[in-house]
Structure 1
Amino acid sequence: MNPQPHPVDEELVEAAARVARTRCRGDEHTMAAAGRARDGRIVTAVNAYHFTGGPCAELVLIGAAAAQGVYDLRTIVAVGDRDRGIVPPCGRCRQVLLDYFPGAEVIVNRDGRPLAVPVPDLLPDGYVWADHQLDGGQD
């Protein structure tokens, strides 16, 4: 798949990078995520690593956003600690993002540059969680 480049939300990338630099310490928190809501607000989160499969930063971001009344994230990015830069979502996060925010974009690093791509492009032929869509999703 060769998506058309979209403008990258540099402020969002910097918000995630700032959280990664200042809040990710040790092995428990190694990734930060930031999401921009429809109304322009930025929500941030960090992962909760655990050997049993603790949640990724993108998943924590979904919960943190809901706790702040944000149910419509438009753009999402994850950044690694120790200046690792933008990190693409894992397969589980791609599926969850497709289920929760199919119209959102995710900022990834492609060919050495940040690129905003639609969530469905990250999971072609993805499974659609029909039960979640029956109630109209989260607005």
Structure 2
Amino acid sequence: MTPQTDRAGYDHELVRAAAEVARTRCRGDNHTMAAAARARDGRIVTAVNAYHFTGGPCAELVLIGAAASQGVYELDTIVAVGDRDRGVVAPCGRCRQVLLDYFPAVEVIVGAADAVRAVPVTGLLPESYVWADHRHDAE
């Protein structure tokens, strides 16, 4: 299954999926963002954030766990969409770093209205920190 893209090169179906979850599942102050990601095998995984004053996880981070629970460990593209028709929202710094660490080749859909586009996560963190502690080589 090939995602529908245009000249901007982003996955329209993915954005629609996240927008639908934001519209139907984000209710109240606890869930204000939705995320959708396309797995390498074409499946779409969705999630919502869990807002909390202590810094609850963003929708992108919840999505990583939801994807793993469904056996999805490789993501090609991810997008976050705000509730109340706020549209595409770029990931925060923490999410950018986690996405880079888990999926260094993932494309992230960013931009507003007519400037929506897909960019490599490395483009969002050009001088990124590489966290290697979690990847120990067998000795």
Q: Do the structures match in fold with TM over 0.5?
A: yes
- For 1:19, the aligned partner's letter is V
Check conservation: 1:6, 1:117, Cα contact below 8 A.
no
Tell me the CA shift for residue 132 of structure 1. Answer: 2.7
Please list, as runs of the form range in 1=range in 2, the aligned pairs for 1:1-139 lying within 5 A after superposition.
7-109=9-111, 112-134=114-136
- For 1:114, the aligned partner's letter is V
CA offset digits 1:55-86 (Å, max 9, x no partner): 00000000000000000011000000000000
- 125-134 or 39-48: which moved more? 125-134
Tell me the CA shift for residue 113 of structure 1. Answer: 1.8
Q: Distance in 1 between matches of 2:119 and 2:135?
A: 22
- 88-97 or 6-15: which moved more? 6-15
Show structure 1 runs of 4+ deviating over 4 A: none
Tell which has more relative contact order, 1 or 2 (C-alpha 8 A, sep 6+): 1
Q: Distance in 2 between matches of 1:49 and 1:67?
A: 21
Q: CA RMSD in A?
A: 1.4
- For 2:24, the aligned partner's letter is T
Tell me the CA shift for residue 131 of structure 1. Answer: 1.9
The alignment covers a number of residue pairs equal to 131
Query: What's the % identity of the aligned pairs?
Result: 78
- The runs of 5 or more residues in structure 2 that have no matched partner are 1-6
Tell me the CA shift for residue 112 of structure 1. Answer: 3.6
Q: Distance in 2 between matches of 1:20 and 1:111?
A: 17
Q: Distance in 2 between matches of 1:78 and 1:26?
A: 17
Structure 1 residues 79 and 110, CA gap change in structure 2 (3 angstroms): closer
Check conservation: 2:8, 2:116, Cα contact below 8 A.
no
- For 1:104, the aligned partner's letter is V
